[in-house]
């Protein structure tokens, strides 16, 4: 099946996911096209993180199919790392490698996974560090950077792999309020450049201005899915209405 | 009570002749034990029961029995078997030094593998996930992420084990080896001056312990340089 | 295996000696450890220095050396004291059981000092403040709040200390304690089967280690009932 003929970059069909007895994902159906910007929101425990972690197989789905760029995610190892090269992930707790400098953090996967030469990797690293506006931090260790800076480095690290898709798992939830904007700015930039992205977040301002589609999840199900204008002004489902009330009144 | 300083002055050089043996025991057993520990660690982490289980049993036995018993089993016990005496290992196992090094290595290997395992388990899960998300293979994640961080975390406990190993070398004196303790015991048997001899010997060991601790302290600082905020 | 016939009851009594040493040394170890910890935690500079000297001395000296020193040294000491009163007095012995028990209690006690000290420091200061706010006296706070919480924290490393006590007991055979190693030595001269005899010793010690380890695991579970909350 040619990758170019597949319109959908991401496809999830009837996906279920269990943690022991507990069902985290119930019958998830999702299609994402190239250049689409999706925001997933919902209360804690709704399965949002689990959903995107199934897309790079950090979690394994139990039932249904997951396709990334036409390739189905199964247990064959070669497939998994090939897919992961194309899917970038940014974590809530940044997860920068503490024992490597910022620039080494950006270079290590390029060299090991994409087999890029050291010189090229460094060039690429500095390019993306400039993109996220902190090239001067290149030789520092992560612990010497602020939270906002660390998260921007994490975004740059994912971008260095030139992924087709970027997944963001609550990227600003662990940041002090004054640092949230610097990270959101980078993400908006990325969106404007045409990156396909799925973002789990509570930042509704970001959602409203950037997202093509907003997905609301609750108790493991996709409850509602619509464009931002409809989503915020005209939510259809009761649960969506309740959630929006709680989130928007503070 | 009068302290016989001349006795100390005469005996110390004699005891220090045993330093070479003590160091051999410490460094050779330490090195071999570390290699063994890494093997055991990989067996434990392999996820395959036929590798993990034997490693666990080995560790359990060697950590659950006194090292003196292990030394005696190897030195006194193994010659009981004909197949040992005619094997290629016999030249090593016939000698007290060979037996002592084998026993100390086998013992420290078990302890150190648990220490290394503790270090590996302490590496933040998120860091491994970041490696996975970047497409790194299991081997790459272990070598470039887990191992460097685990080494730094495990270092304090490892340094304690090296000091324990130093103290265990004194047990070689029970199987006729003339390390510092062995020589000391002979002197005491002749002179009946346990205080002077044993206390001065203890001070020698304390000095070595101090040197080891300081060295590991510097190593810990060097490895931990990325954990400090200030440049 | 037939060689063991007739030796089982000797081994049994040897094991009983291990059991006795364990309980006596356990008590002393706790006392030495608590005293050391309290000394280090108090503001008192002298107490601090003494406790520090204690931990450094006993953590850096080989166990066998401490045992030899305690045994021979105490004998010399007591003999010279006795000769002050009665010049005809011959050699006064201190039984290996007590020399060894005190020796290993002092050694493991020096490690326990650090364990208890760390555990006391690990008690939640909020709990102490709450107790004070409720009007509890210092003594009451110590007994009802500090000690229970300290034990819960100290339990895992304390389990290791208990294992050390058990294993160090084998070393006391060097000064003639009639436990299993000693039994094995005699059995070997009669049966000529050193491997078999020492393996039994190993198995007995392994048995004791297992019982202690399981008990500590059970106690840990019991302690956890107050900290592992509902999900």
Q: Residue B184 to residues A154, A177, B200, C170: CA-CA distances in angstroms?
A: 60, 68, 10, 21
**Nearest residue in B to A159, CA atom:** B134
Who contacts B68 (Cβ-Cβ below 8 Å, separation ≥6)? Answer: B171, B174, C170, C171, C173, C174, C181
Q: Check residue C229 and give its pLDDT.
A: 55
Contacts across the B-C interface (CB distance below 8 Å): 124
Which residues, listed in sequence order, are joined to residue C223 by a DSSP beta bridge? none
Q: Check residue B92 and give its pLDDT.
A: 86
Query: CB of B181 within 8 Å of any CB in chain C?
Result: yes
- Among C94, B133, B41, C13, smallest CA distance to A96 is for B133
Residue B230 has pLDDT above 90, yes or no: no
Q: Environment class of residue A133 by beta-carbon count within 10 Å: exposed (0-12), middle (13-18) or buried (19+)?
A: middle
Contact C72 B194 (CB under 8 A): yes
Between CA C174 and CA B78 the distance in angstroms is: 21
Residue A41 has pLDDT above 70, yes or no: yes
Residue A115 has pLDDT above 70, yes or no: yes
C153-184: pLDDT as tens digits:
899 899 999 999 999 999 999 999 999 999 99
Which residues, listed in sequence order, are joined to residue A32 by a DSSP beta bridge? A10
**Nearest residue in C to B72, CA atom:** C198
C and A adjacent (3 or more CB pairs under 8 angstroms)? no
For strands A37-41 and A196-200, give the pairing.
Answer: parallel
Q: Check residue B88 and give its pLDDT.
A: 86
- Among A186, A120, A182, A116, smallest CA distance to A156 is for A186
**Nearest residue in B to A165, CA atom:** B133
Of B127, B134, B228, which is closest to A109 when you measure between CB atoms? B134
Between CA A145 and CA C140 the distance in angstroms is: 46
CA distance C41 to chain B (A): 22
Residue C231 has pLDDT above 90, yes or no: no
Q: Check residue A4 and give its pLDDT.
A: 44
The sign of the CA dihedral C122, C123, C125, C126 is positive
Tokens (6 digits) for B24: 């051999």
Query: CB of B1 within 8 Å of any CB in chain A?
Result: no
Contact B64 C206 (CB under 8 A): yes
Query: CB of C167 within 8 Å of any CB in chain B?
Result: yes
Who contacts A197 (Cβ-Cβ below 8 Å, separation ≥6)? Answer: A37, A38, A165, A166, A167, A168, A187, A190, A191
Between CA B193 and CA A180 the distance in angstroms is: 74
- Which of B61, B82, B114, B167 to mutate to test binding with chain C, by most C CBs within 10 Å of its CB? B167
State whether residue C229 is helix, strand or coil: coil
What stretches of B49-95 show up as alpha helix (H) in DSSP? 49-64, 67-72, 82-85, 90-94
**Nearest residue in C to B166, CA atom:** C62
Name the helix (H) or strand (E) containing A105: helix A102-113
Q: Residue C187 to residues A165, C36, C175: CA-CA distances in angstroms?
A: 74, 41, 18
The answer to whether the beta carbons of residues C115 and C154 sit under 8 Å apart is yes
Query: CB of A97 within 8 Å of any CB in chain B?
Result: yes
- Among C20, C19, C31, smallest CA distance to C211 is for C19
Q: Environment class of residue C79 by beta-carbon count within 10 Å: exposed (0-12), middle (13-18) or buried (19+)?
A: middle
Q: Check residue B228 and give its pLDDT.
A: 77
Contact B198 C163 (CB under 8 A): no
B160-209: pLDDT as tens digits:
999 999 999 999 999 999 899 999 999 888 888 888 889 889 999 999 99
pTM for this prediction: 0.85
Q: Check residue A103 and give its pLDDT.
A: 96
Output the average pLDDT for chain C.
Answer: 88
The number of beta carbons lying within 10 Å of the beta carbon of residue A144 is 17
- Tell me how far the alpha carbon of residue A232 is from its chain's centroid: 22
B5-56: pLDDT as tens digits:
888 888 888 888 889 999 999 999 999 999 999 999 999 999 899 999 999 9
Who contacts A87 (Cβ-Cβ below 8 Å, separation ≥6)? Answer: A55, A56, A68, A163, A164, A165, A166, A167, B133
Q: Check residue A110 and give its pLDDT.
A: 93
Query: CB of B198 within 8 Å of any CB in chain C?
Result: yes
Query: CB of B229 within 8 Å of any CB in chain A?
Result: yes
Q: Environment class of residue A16 by beta-carbon count within 10 Å: exposed (0-12), middle (13-18) or buried (19+)?
A: middle
Query: CB of C53 within 8 Å of any CB in chain B?
Result: no
Q: Could you list the beta-strand ranges (E) of B102-219.
A: none
Residue A162 has pLDDT above 80, yes or no: yes
Residue A179 has pLDDT above 90, yes or no: yes
The answer to whether the beta carbons of residues A206 and A188 sit under 8 Å apart is yes
- Among C202, C100, C174, C168, smallest CA distance to B174 is for C174
Which residues, listed in sequence order, are joined to residue A37 by a DSSP beta bridge? A197
The beta-carbon contacts of C37-45 under 8 Å, at least 24 apart in sequence, are: C37/C112, C37/C113, C37/C114, C37/C115, C37/C116, C37/C117, C37/C120, C40/C113, C40/C117, C41/C117, C41/C120, C41/C121
């Amino acid at each position: 099946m040619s990758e170019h003929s597949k319109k959908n970059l991401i496809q999830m069909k009837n996906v279920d996911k269990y943690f022991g007895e507990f069902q985290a994902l119930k019958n998830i159906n999702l299609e994402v096209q190239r250049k689409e910007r999706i925001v997933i929101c919902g209360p804690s425990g709704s399965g949002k993180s689990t959903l995107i972690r199934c897309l790079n197989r950090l979690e394994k789905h139990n039932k249904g199919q997951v396709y990334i760029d036409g390739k189905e995610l199964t247990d064959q190892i070669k497939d998994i790392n090939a897919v992961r090269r194309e899917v970038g992930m940014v974590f809530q707790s940044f997860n920068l490698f503490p024992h490597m400098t910022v620039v080494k953090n950006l270079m290590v996967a390029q060299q090991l996974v994409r087999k890029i030469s050291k010189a090229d990797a460094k060039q690429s690293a500095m390019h993306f560090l400039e993109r996220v506006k902190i090239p001067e931090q290149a030789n520092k260790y992560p612990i010497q950077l602020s939270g906002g800076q660390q998260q921007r480095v994490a975004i740059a690290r994912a971008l260095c792999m030139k992924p087709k898709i970027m997944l963001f798992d609550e990227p600003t939830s662990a940041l002090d309020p004054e640092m949230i904007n610097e990270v959101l700015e980078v993400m908006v930039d990325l969106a404007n450049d045409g990156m396909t992205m799925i973002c789990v977040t509570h930042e509704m301002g970001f959602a409203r201005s950037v997202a093509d589609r907003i997905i609301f999840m609750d108790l493991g199900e996709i409850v509602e899915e619509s464009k931002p204008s409809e989503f915020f002004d005209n939510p259809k489902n009761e649960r969506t209405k309740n959630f929006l009330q709680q989130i928007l009144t503070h | 009570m009068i302290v016989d300083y001349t006795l100390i002055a005469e005996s110390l050089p004699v005891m220090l002749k045993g330093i070479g043996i003590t160091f051999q025991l410490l460094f050779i057993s330490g090195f071999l034990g570390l290699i063994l520990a890494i093997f055991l660690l990989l067996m434990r982490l392999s996820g395959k029961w036929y590798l993990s289980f034997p490693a666990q049993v080995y560790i359990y036995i060697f950590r659950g029995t006194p090292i003196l018993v292990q030394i005696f089993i190897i030195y006194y016990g193994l010659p009981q078997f004909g197949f040992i005496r005619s094997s290629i290992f016999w030249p090593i196992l016939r000698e007290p030094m060979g037996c002592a090094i084998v026993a100390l290595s086998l013992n420290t290997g078990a302890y150190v593998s648990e220490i290394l395992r503790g270090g590996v388990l302490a590496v933040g899960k998120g860091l491994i996930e970041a490696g996975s998300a970047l497409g790194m293979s299991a081997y790459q994640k272990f070598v470039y992420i887990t191992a460097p961080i685990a080494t730094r975390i495990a270092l304090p406990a490892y340094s304690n084990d090296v000091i324990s190993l130093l103290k265990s070398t004194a047990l070689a004196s029970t199987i006729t080896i003339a390390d510092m303790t062995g020589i000391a015991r002979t002197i005491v048997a002749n002179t009946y001056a346990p205080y002077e001899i044993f206390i001065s010997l203890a001070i020698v060991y304390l000095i070595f312990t101090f040197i080891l601790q300081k060295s590991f302290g510097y190593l810990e600082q060097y490895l931990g340089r990325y954990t400090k905020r200030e440049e | 295996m037939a060689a063991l016939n007739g030796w089982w009851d000797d081994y049994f009594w040897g094991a009983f000696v291990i059991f006795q040493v364990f309980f006596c040394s356990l008590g002393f170890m706790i006392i030495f450890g608590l005293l050391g910890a309290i000394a280090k935690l108090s503001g008192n500079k002298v107490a601090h220095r003494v406790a520090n000297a204690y931990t450094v001395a006993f953590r850096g000296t080989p166990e066998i050396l401490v045992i030899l020193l305690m045994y021979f040294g105490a004998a010399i000491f007591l003999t010279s004291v006795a000769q002050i009163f009665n010049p005809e007095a011959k050699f006064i012995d201190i039984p290996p059981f007590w020399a060894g028990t005190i020796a290993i209690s002092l050694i493991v006690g020096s490690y326990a000092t650090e364990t208890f000290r760390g555990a006391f420091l690990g008690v939640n200061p909020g709990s102490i403040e709450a107790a004070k706010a409720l009007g509890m006296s210092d003594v009451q706070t110590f007994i009802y709040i500090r000690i229970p919480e300290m034990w819960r924290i100290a339990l895992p490393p304390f389990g290791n200390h208990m294992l050390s006590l058990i294993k160090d007991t084998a070393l006391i055979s060097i000064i003639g304690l009639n436990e299993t190693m000693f039994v094995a030595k005699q059995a070997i001269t009669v049966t000529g089967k050193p491997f078999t005899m020492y393996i039994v010793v190993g198995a007995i010690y392994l048995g004791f280690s297992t019982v202690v380890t399981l008990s500590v695991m059970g106690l840990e579970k019991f302690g956890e009932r107050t900290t592992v909350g509902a999900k």
